[in-house]
Amino acid sequence: MSDEKLLEVTDLKKYFPVSAGVFGRHVADVKAVDGVSFTVRKGETLGLVGESGSGKTTIGRLVLKLLEATSGTIRFEGRDISDISARQTRMLRRRMQIIFQDPYGSLNPRMTIGEIVSEPLAIHGIAKGKARQERTVELLRMVGLQSSHLNRYPNEFSGGQRQRVGIARALAVEPQFIVCDEPVSALDVSIQAQVLNLLEDLRERLGLTYLFISHDLSVVRHISTRVAVLYLGKIFEVADRSALYEHPLHPYTQALLAAIPVPNPEVQSAQKRVLLSGDVPTAMAPPSGCRFHPRCPFAFERCSVEEPAMRDVGGGHMVACHAVENGTIQ
């Protein structure tokens, strides 16, 4: 893995307007992503974890220019892509791709597997005729499928096979960066491991870089190099995989890790549990100060009035928490 920054996101925001009344008057905003900053180094897998509704998928789509950001800066390969034209965005598609969450809904049921995988080659004018056919077969074999699958349709395949087709389609244009949006959440556990191992193998063989979005911390631990923890549109902790799983600092991260089932009952009963009270607040009216303070067992007065800044506590372990800053959590 290189120290070179492939992707840099700074103060990224995405607000969805809420309208009401006969005339559609703007009354509020859903702050799906609210001031997110992170980097992805070339050749690494950055895991982005958080509960449903925390803004994970929105961040992935903003980075790929599938959604326009409200504000903020996105730099890819050192170039600001925040306000590029439609033509420039189309050219960018060869460098950045996505693997979707739903292997059943992301493939056109009226197209054969060969047509689905070769479509990006045709759109970008990469190969024609026999060369396109050969490249399509090569892509299918790369993900563990056979040339005999070319003329079959998605409904003839299992979920795991369909996701392999989705991976082959993403690889067709030889991208450098891939957003993996919950790519195994719809699959059986036994198939999840196969797909994760395939993604790791492809990253090493092709020199790929991943932004891996998931709510499953066990999956993220298996595949990620570093992990960023997202809550209600903000990142609260970023660290190398081993540092985050062995010594989580933010109370939210501690609660997420404590909720992972452990096969050994004795080990599980001896684990320190962090219990959260209440429900996740709405992104339309997030709490003042630290957004996590209404549910945090370590919250004190400062947490409700002052938003914590992201601080490096050593070794690149970043955390935004007043309790960590004053030594309550170590």
The C-alpha atoms of residue 75 and residue 10 are separated, in whole angstroms, by 8
DSSP annotation of 275 reads P
Q: Tens-digit pLDDT profile for the chain (330 aa)?
A: 667 899 999 999 999 999 888 888 888 899 999 999 999 999 999 999 988 889 999 999 999 999 999 999 999 999 999 888 888 988 898 999 999 988 888 899 999 999 999 999 998 888 888 899 999 999 999 999 999 999 999 999 998 999 999 999 999 999 999 999 999 988 888 899 999 999 999 999 999 999 999 988 889 999 999 999 999 999 999 999 999 999 999 999 998 888 777 665 554 455 566 667 777 888 888 999 999 999 998 999 999 999 999 999 988 999 999 999 988 887
3-state secondary structure of 47: strand
The dihedral of CA 292, 294, 300, 303: what is its sign?
positive
The C-alpha atoms of residue 120 and residue 122 are separated, in whole angstroms, by 5
**Residue 60 structure tokens:** 């992935």
Spell out the domains of the chain, with CATH numbers in brackets. 5-18+27-95+175-325 (3.40.50.300), 105-165 (no CATH)
Sheet holding 79-80, edge to edge: 25-41, 5-20, 71-76, 79-80
Per-position DSSP letters for 280-312, written without gaps between them: PPPTTSPPSSSTTGGG-TT--HHHHHSPPPPEE
Phi then psi dihedrals of residue 111, to 5 deg: -110, 145
Nearest in space to 230 (alpha carbons), one of 27, 82, 52, 41: 52
pTM: 0.92
